[in-house]
């Protein structure tokens, strides 16, 4: 199955489009918008399928891990062990309560 090609000037509808020349992503947010030429002078685009990102759990929180690495705790008789990547991480509130005082962990 080949992707449908849309050209500059067409009104293909709302969505994400990718330039077939350079791969640049373009978003049209209205059904009446026309596809503009790409910055690379490309004039053909394909529609990119909409990705569904997983939603964080209701009890989750975003934290910043400065150092990254593994977090391990034995607070209150509860053992928790998980890895945080350097940068933004989404963890549960329970994990946050156990690691909020750890060096390198900041609530976002």
Please report whether residue 53 resides in a domain. no
Please report whether residue 55 resides in a domain. no
Please report whether residue 29 resides in a domain. yes
CA 15 to chain centre: 16
63 pLDDT more than 90? no
HSE-CB at 7 with a 13 A cutoff on CA atoms is 0
For 29, other C-beta atoms within 10 Å of its C-beta total 7
Q: Which domain covers residue 65, as residue numbers? A: 60-107
Please report whether residue 85 resides in a domain. yes
Q: Please give the tally of structural domains in the chain.
A: 2
Please report whether residue 97 resides in a domain. yes
**Element containing residue 98 per DSSP (H, E):** helix 93-99
Please report the pLDDT score of residue 108 as a whole number: 65
By mean pLDDT, which of 25-29, 57-61, 66-70 is the weakest?
66-70
69 pLDDT more than 80? no
Q: What percent of the chain has pLDDT over 70?
A: 66
Please report whether residue 95 resides in a domain. yes
Please report whether residue 54 resides in a domain. no
64 pLDDT more than 70? yes
Please report whether residue 96 resides in a domain. yes
């Amino acid at each position: 199955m080949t992707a449908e090609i849309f050209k500059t000037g067409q009104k293909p509808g709302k969505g994400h489009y990718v330039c077939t020349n350079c791969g640049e992503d373009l978003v049209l947010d209205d059904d009446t918008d026309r596809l503009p030429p790409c910055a690379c002078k490309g004039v053909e685009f394909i529609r990119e399928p909409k990705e569904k990102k997983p939603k964080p759990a209701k009890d989750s929180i975003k934290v910043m891990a400065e150092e990254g690495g593994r977090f391990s705790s034995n607070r209150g008789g509860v053992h928790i062990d998980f890895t945080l990547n350097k940068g933004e991480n989404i963890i549960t509130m329970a994990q946050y309560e156990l690691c909020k005082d750890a060096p390198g962990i900041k609530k976002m």
